[in-house]
Chains A and B, each alone.
Chain A
Amino acid sequence: MTDLAIRIRGAVKRYGPITAVDGLDLDVPEGTCVGLLGPNGAGKSTTMRLLTAQSIADEGEIEVLGFRLPEESKAARAQCGVTPQLDNLDVTLTVEQNLLVFSHLYRIPRADRRAAIERALVMAKLEDRRDSRVDKLSGGMRRRLLIARSLVHRPRLVLLDEPTVGLDPQVRQELWALIDALRSEGTTILMSTHYIEEAQRLADTVLILSHGKAVAAGSPAQLVRDHAGSEVLEVYGPPARLAEVETEAGAEGLRTRRTGTSISILGVESGNGFALGGERRPANLEDVFVLLTGEEIA
């Protein structure tokens, strides 16, 4: 039995009439990377806030690194690194000063401080920019610094809230490499994202959230197999035609989803002779995501 870095049972968090987290169970085994995948408003960020006791659950049990929350949250936080969704670096300070401040906040002993800051600089690939003010850095550099800042004390558990949101593909790849390196060192990671590719590439286990509940969990490959089958037929056409295709496939007992420009017919590998012109492609996590979290924007 693996030790759990995070254990949540039946967590409920309400904000007035809105229930942001609605009976959530979550296990994050030590040494794994778990992705929280869900549309905006599914409860990902609230879950992250619950784990640092910046939100207090109305019901349920939460344990982080064996500490009960919220009572023992401070001890848990000492061993956690948190990368927030919103950049909250001190922009008038230099790269190095930002790391220095957090080496104090995370209580690194004086003798180790210098080395910890150097290590974080290397990790963020910002050795050459150590004396640059943060407001002079590019978006990608800032995000690397934000992540490195949360790793300065070598945390056992890292919480990444939408680590690559709003960044261009090159910068995202850079950050994925950084996160992957962390994972291979054995650091436990909980990462929230609404980018499918990010979850598929980095997460050992993905938890799909919808309306504050976990609607599915498993490895990306297993989720695709269980919920979307292996092959998908992509049919393109004008909107009226797509509506017809949807009805026809439905009559054949096949599941469909809209992509905006086409209809995806799932599970066509079952060989029921469904003869429609279109492009065949392997099923992917996005199919699962849309099937489970709904097509309509909440």
Chain B
Amino acid sequence: MAIAPPRQRIGRLERQALTGVLVREVVNFSSYWRSATFSSTVEPTIYLLAFGFGFGALVSKVGGYDYVEFVGTGTVATAVLFSSAFAAMFGTFVKYQFQHTYDAILAAPVDTEELVSAEALWMASRAGVYGCVPMLVAIGFGLDPAWGMLTVPLIAWVSGFGWACFGIMVAGFAKSIENFSYVVSAVLTPLFLVAGTFFPLDTLPGWAQFLGNVNPLHHCVELVRHAAFGWEGWTDLARVGALVAFGLAMWRLAIHAMTRKLID
């Protein structure tokens, strides 16, 4: 005869489970925040300096903006991508494959869905903060502050959530860490280049413009730019919708991929 336990509610996405995973990330962050902050700050600054001043010397205005301002707002999306997608791909794989962290977490009252969601929330929050850095650097180089810029952390957060889930999904499907090369070369690099970060998309051929419009990174770039220079009404709302849809789709796919990987 088995013990009759007091029935407790077994919920999905329980706050306590999410908190547990987040606490682990926050406590860990206290041991590596310096390096993370360094790379997240220095990288976009270098892009800004290299393109803004190198290229900016040849073209002073792009799409009606000073080139430094154009790149300064555009590289917010770059910072978001680097601090979410890349961190998620490598971090997830290392925690799964080498540190066996997820085995320990899933032995506790945490399900894969909660684990993936909490990890994505954490990386989205980091992206929300680090995403603002290039814009702050650009302000230092003469970009005029605007009230709309207060929405940039939120834009970066929503984008970062989608890209974090994308990275977790890639790590979930990858057989080895070498597989990441395909994703970086064939997916992330092209999307990074045709996002409208360094040059506007409207001079590109039709197919590349189409590619840009299905690129979530492009919507992030445009929203940040409009936050700094002025909103475009319904178009921007549609872009927010696209980012939210991207985030939700990637979230479910990431959970699916990690469940396959972690539960056999």
Contact = CB atoms under 8 A, between A and B. Distances in A.
A88 B109 contact: no
A111 interface: no
A104 interface: yes
Given A1-B1, A56-B264, A104 B28 contact: no
Interface stretch (A95-103, A255-263, A288-296): A95-103
Nearest to B16: A107
Contact of B5 (A74, A75, A77, A104): A75
Interface of A: 1, 3-5, 7, 15, 30, 49, 52-56, 63, 65-67, 72, 74-75, 77-80, 82, 84, 86-88, 90-93, 97, 100-102, 104-107
Contact of A88 (B4, B104, B111): B104
Given A72-B10, A93-B27, 7 more contacts: A53-B263, A66-B4, A74-B10, A75-B8, A84-B107, A93-B28, A106-B108
B3 A4 contact: yes
B119 to A, nearest CB: 14
B208 interface: no
A66 B8 CA distance: 12
A54 B263 CA distance: 5
B151 interface: no
A99 to B, nearest CB: 11
A104 B106 CA distance: 13
Interface of B: 1-5, 8, 10, 16-17, 19-21, 23-24, 27-28, 31-32, 99-101, 103-111, 262-264
B1 A77 contact: no
B26 to A, nearest CB: 9
- Chain B interface SS verdict (over half): helix
A144 to B, nearest CB: 16
A66 B3 contact: yes
A49 B103 CA distance: 10
A52 B111 CA distance: 11
Given A3-B2, A4-B1, A107-B16, A100 B107 contact: no
A88 B27 contact: no
Contacts of B110: 74, 105
A65 B8 CA distance: 13
27 contacts: A3-B2, A4-B3, A5-B3, A30-B3, A52-B106, A52-B107, A53-B263, A54-B106, A56-B263, A66-B4, A66-B5, A67-B5, A72-B10, A77-B107, A78-B108, A82-B107, A86-B103, A90-B28, A91-B99, A92-B31, A93-B27, A93-B31, A104-B20, A105-B20, A105-B109, A106-B108, A107-B20
A55 B1 contact: no
A74 B107 contact: no
A149 B1 CA distance: 30
Contacts of B108: 77-78, 82, 102, 105-106
B11 to A, nearest CB: 9
Contacts of B31: 92-93
